[in-house]
Amino acid sequence: MTVLRAWTLVAIGVLGVSISAPLTASTLAPVVAIAFWRNLVGAGVSGTWALLGPRSRLTPEALRLSVFSGVVLAVHFTTWFAGLRLSSVAAATALVSTTPVFLVAIDLFRRVPVPRPVLIGVAVSMTGVVAITGVDAGRSPQALAGDALSLLSALAMVGYVLAGQRVMRTTTPALYTLVAYASCALVMLPVAFLTGTGLTGFSTRTWIEIGVLTLGAQVLGHTFFNAALPVVGPTPLALAILLEVPGAALLAWVWLGEAPPPAVVPGAVLMLLGLVVVVRARREP
């Protein structure tokens, strides 16, 4: 794959994931149903990719970690989707991107040496987080609850990232995501039953919205990112994915008429600048 083709895939992937937040916030489909169908279809795509790609296998430990990834991915999706419907798209999308900050916090807890630029980036990013949540606390308790759910979603993503890094030392991304997505979809089934959430019976428009969400974020987004990763590299790709935040905010403004709350914008910009410093300084997948 050429560099130009790889970056084209990244650009399409960023557009795909940027669609996710505004469409999830506006669709009438329940959050549990969105998570179920996204991951079920994603598992099908990963399964096809695994069959067509190089053969691989999962050790018992890798299988356990892959299933664990699916469970925390279910937590990630349900909390973020719920947060999107309580807060603004700009705030929720920015806060869910703070996973690198939580990864640094885990390194500090484990007493792993952390470079000074990373600590500076975390401090800047957390200042932005405080600014965003402070604004939403003044707006309404509902918006603040949405911010809390988005941060919980980012924390759940930490488990997905750490488990995925360990699994993909011994197996292919296709096989790993097949098990993780399938496990996530399976977790959603009892959740749907316990909450009385229907997974079918939606209007034609809602099914189209679920299809666009699945195609854009799950298939084009994550699949294209995985395909481009060997050529682009982890650090440039991680920085490119941060473009989802302004992309989602812009789409929500144009598409839904939801202008980003002016007071949230400085905090979001500050948080993103801090994340750029963290990602560049860590230089890890």
Q: What is the 3-state secondary structure (H, E, C) of 111-165?
A: CCCCCHHHHHHHHHHHHHHHHHHHHHHHHCHHHHHHHHHHHHHHHHHHHHHHHHH
Q: How far is the C-alpha of 91 from the C-alpha of 249, rounded, in Å? A: 9
pLDDT in tens, 149-184: 999 999 998 888 888 888 888 888 888 889 999 999
Q: How many structural domains are present in the chain?
A: 1
Of residues 126 and 136, which shows the higher confidence score?
A: 126
pTM metric for this prediction: 0.85
Q: Residue 180 in contact with residue 218, Cβ under 8 Å?
A: no
pLDDT (average), residues 49-58: 79
Q: Which of 38, 136, 141 is nearest to 95 (CA)?
A: 136
Of residues 59 and 279, which shows the higher confidence score?
A: 59
The CA-based angle 5-10-11, given to 5 degrees, is 95
Q: How far is the C-alpha of 247 from the C-alpha of 242, rounded, in Å? A: 9
Which amino acid does the sequence have at 258? E
The domain in which residue 110 lies consists of 3-282
Least confident of 106-110, 251-255, 278-282: 278-282
Whether 235 shows a pLDDT value over 70: the answer reads: no
pLDDT in tens, 244-258: 888 888 888 887 788
